[in-house]
Amino acid sequence: MARKAKSHTMIKDPLLEPYFVTIDENCCTVNQTIQKNSNHFRSKGKTKSYEKAISFHSNLGTALFCIARYLQHDKGTHDLDGVLSKYEQIELNIKQFINEQVSSVI
């Protein structure tokens, strides 16, 4: 007999784009929204998007840290100051997001 689908929580925010987190009873999953274009290998001529699971984590903190690492890597060439300032900006954005969520609950 088929099991009932499990519910999960989805955390999407512009600060995390193109990534988002889904949380179920077992883990937190980091997902990526991928925008296809006509050159994409899965493209059928129309511009659409699909979601892809990237990594699985035991808690939300490690999932957000993973997103920060992914956002830091943009395939560009940077000096050390540029990398550090970008990482600090990502960290600040995530802390701001968490503080907004906590203050809305209180």
- At residue 32, φ and ψ (nearest 5 deg) are -125, 135
The percent of residues in the chain predicted with pLDDT above 70, rounded, is 77
Please, which pLDDT band fits residue 43 given cuts at 50, 70 and 90? Answer: low
Domain boundaries along the sequence of the chain? 9-105
Q: What is the pLDDT at residue 31?
A: 95
- 73 vs 3, more confident: 73
Contacts of 42 (CB under 8 A, 6+ apart): 36, 50
pLDDT tens figures, 72-84? 776 666 678 877 8
What does R_g of the chain's alpha carbons equal in angstroms?
A: 16
pLDDT tens figures, 18-35? 999 999 888 999 999 988
Q: What is the pLDDT at residue 20?
A: 93
Q: What is the pLDDT at residue 1?
A: 47
